[in-house]
Chains A and B, each alone.
Chain A
Amino acid sequence: MFKVTIDGIEVEIPEGSTILEAARKIGPEVAPPTMCYYSSLETSGGYCRTCLVEVTKGSEKDPRPMPKLVPACRTQAMDGMVVTNELSARVKEARAGVTEFLLFNHPLDCPVCDQAGECHLQDLSYEHGKYKTRTDFERRTFEKIDIGDKISLHMNRCILCYRCVKVADQLTDNRVHGVLNRGDHAEISTYIKEAIDNDFSGNMIDVCPVGALTDRTFRFKSRVWFTKPMDAHRDCEKCSGKVVLWYKGDDVLRVTGRKDTWGEVEEFICNTCRFDKKKTSDWTIEGVRDISRHSVISANKYKKLVKPNEFTLNDIKALPE
């Protein structure tokens, strides 16, 4: 076991863990934001640079600080390592810069985007972003590509985190989409516009940190904060069948996997559960999903709402003096 100190909080982690895993063990207060790292996807991380942290003491044996900021998701923690994250001005400045770069080509269409409200880039720019853009250049745009009737791809919003490509590589056989072209022209696409119809391909919707891949059956149906999430499950031979149903009134508008504190899906679900089972009778409802009250999804939802008893004027009694 290694001892690592992050923002002054000490934590014990097994050997070989990364700084990010150590930080997540402490809690969301010290964990750096991640846009591309996904714990259940192998080789993910290292692209977005939002998890940059400062290592002020390399290890017990070699206490020299690391000269540059290091990505927490790809750097192994050493015994006695001291890391500063939120407390470091350098990290904050770097993260603001990274956010600015991520937003460089990202369209400002949050009012139209279906991901708004559960978008990680929104959270990131809210915490670390600048109020205004500093560039005069036109944003990079792509021609719209149809990748099937279940998933819609908005390439303009993509930040190239590669999560969806990893999902296709690791969860499904015969992946049909990947990254085409290089550098500034890189884009997620299917080769020769082939439709995506693998059994687990729908998970790329959950995995996408922005609104680049969204549920086409949910397109413009409702904003996420108007819907009410309910935990539900069903017997599915392909997946665990544990999902969240997003209700509006009595209609199930959308089915997603269950996301944890880090916005990562606990168990991947299959496309049958996601797209074809949209009736309450298909599911066993477990109850209302617990949503952090800081999330916009919790707005206008009242868990312990009790209808007040009607009373007449005669019921009001004077206060005892």
Chain B
Amino acid sequence: MSGGAAPLPWWIDYALLPLANLALALLVAGLLVLATGQSPLTAVAAMAQGAFGSGEAVGYTLYYATDMIFAGLAVAVAFHGGLFNIGVEGQAYISGLGVALVCLYLDALPVWLVAPLAVAAAALFGAGWAAVPAWLQARRGSHIVITTIMFNFIAYALMEWLIVNVLIKRGQMAPETRGFNGGGLLPGLDRFLPLAPTPLNPAFAVALACLLLVWLLIWHTRWGYALRVVGASPRAAVYAGIRPARLVIQAMLLSGALGGGIAFNEVMGAQHKLLIGFTGGYGFTGIAVALMGRNHPFGVLLAAVLFGALYQGGAELAFDMPSMSSDLVVAVQGLVILFTGGLGLMLRPAFVRAFGRS
């Protein structure tokens, strides 16, 4: 990739490049919409209106963005250690179990006590689920991509079995636990701030705190430096006296714990019960978020808000333009993921030529 790795001012890498990719994605998506005989401009306007047009819209966008921040950070942290964690989805799913157990059995306690416990449980369960693939990678060299993908399926099977057979509320058909009561209910942010009632909840604040902490950890601690060295070159790391195996395990544990934030936001913050498939694919979208955000917390934040807006705006699009099929909405979302994530570096050489400092 000639010029691909050349240094660029940070605002180009983290803001201008993603924006250009987004514009390209919307252009192609617009052609797709045009091909189905609809106006792309109306569609874009409806999506923007649906994502940011009202207090309610913003609330929903940020609520989805919360999931994306956790997922994006989880992928990003592992990525700095040269690890591709595709198992955030499964780690978050298992974290849901931890959150649900805390909320189901400790809901007699006040919420300010239950919430930190739920966060801890989410982090612990997520890290626990990441531990085995991490150990296998570090000590046995089993490729993390393969093991984390496989662990996703184990997580699905385990959680389905638990929810359908053990945790289900008796006498109902939907596979979900009973709704949480009392201390198990994380109040929405609209209870504290003058906002429209949405599922946006304090998990958003936790996500923002995680962004800051990850930034400090990766760029301002000895551990973060060591991790980046391992990610850039494990052999150089060994030469410098760093033990990669240990860092690999630690980074994966942290990644799994961050993924657990999705469970905190969804299970305790929004759904108030544990249900099948509450992770909704956010763990996988996190890969695109991290790619688009260039694994930097600030980039992850921007990308997370964009994907939150896509989710929310896409849902609203179905209401505003009933003739637009839901599959087309998914296709538009997919195009944005493709261009901003998969083809994220496509335009970079051109930017290097235009802005590069030699």
Q: Tell me whether A and B are bound partners.
A: no
Interface residue ranges, A against B (CB under 8 Å): none
